[in-house]
């Protein structure tokens, strides 16, 4: 698939036409599938309804009300994934499967924007605080390599 070599235009994809009534029924069916726990994403919905993923994602992009309903339907999925992540990463548990934790975490971040990286962390362990202060003190004593020579202190 794809464009022929040297082509500057996109290939014309002929999408099937659905009447507004059929589109409404398909969207309602997909929401019911989410509520029943039968599907977890639009790719699963595509296999259950027979509508292509391309069409489902374009409907999601163009229809704000349906997108909001889908986001709300994905909330229980995020709750379940968070419980699985916490169960796999508890300090007293010995079986941690990081690839599965990472995949679940990326899915949670997609569903809930508040879980996206903010690059902030909280240190509560007293030993970790001591190490952090030592690193800060050490960082202040290390000369910066890229500074011009005129601003560096001469010893």
Same domain, yes or no: 94 and 136 = yes
Average pLDDT, the chain: 80
Residue 2 lies in a domain: no
Report the pLDDT averaged over residues 15-34. 92
Same domain, yes or no: 119 and 97 = yes
pLDDT for the residue numbered 53? 92
Same domain, yes or no: 49 and 93 = no
Domain around 107: 83-141
The 10s digit of each residue's pLDDT in 108-151 is 888 888 877 766 656 667 777 787 788 888 877 666 555 555 54
Residue 15 lies in a domain: no
pLDDT for the residue numbered 155? 45
Residue 87 lies in a domain: yes
Same domain, yes or no: 91 and 135 = yes
Please count the structural domains in the chain. 2
Same domain, yes or no: 102 and 128 = yes
Same domain, yes or no: 27 and 65 = yes
Residue 100 lies in a domain: yes
pLDDT for the residue numbered 131? 78
Taking the C-alpha atoms of residue 55 and residue 23, their distance in angstroms, rounded to an integer, is 10
Residue 126 lies in a domain: yes
Contact, 89 vs 101, CB < 8 A? yes
Residue 9 lies in a domain: no
Both tokens of residue 18? 């659905």
Report the pLDDT averaged over residues 9-21. 80
């Amino acid at each position: 698939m794809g464009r022929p070599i040297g082509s500057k235009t996109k290939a014309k994809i002929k999408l099937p036409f659905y009447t507004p009534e059929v589109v409404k029924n398909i969207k309602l069916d997909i929401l019911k599938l989410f509520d029943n726990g039968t599907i977890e994403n639009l790719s699963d919905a595509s296999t259950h309804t027979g509508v292509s993923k391309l069409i489902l994602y374009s409907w999601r992009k163009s229809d704000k009300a349906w997108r909001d309903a889908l986001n709300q339907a994905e909330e229980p999925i995020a709750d379940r994934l968070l419980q699985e992540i916490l169960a796999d990463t508890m300090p007293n548990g010995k079986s941690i499967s990081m690839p599965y934790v990472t995949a679940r975490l990326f899915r949670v971040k997609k569903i809930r924007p508040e879980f996206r990286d903010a690059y902030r962390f909280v240190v509560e362990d007293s030993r970790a605080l001591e190490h952090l202060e030592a690193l800060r003190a050490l960082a202040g004593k290390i000369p910066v390599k890229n500074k011009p020579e005129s601003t560096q202190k001469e010893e």
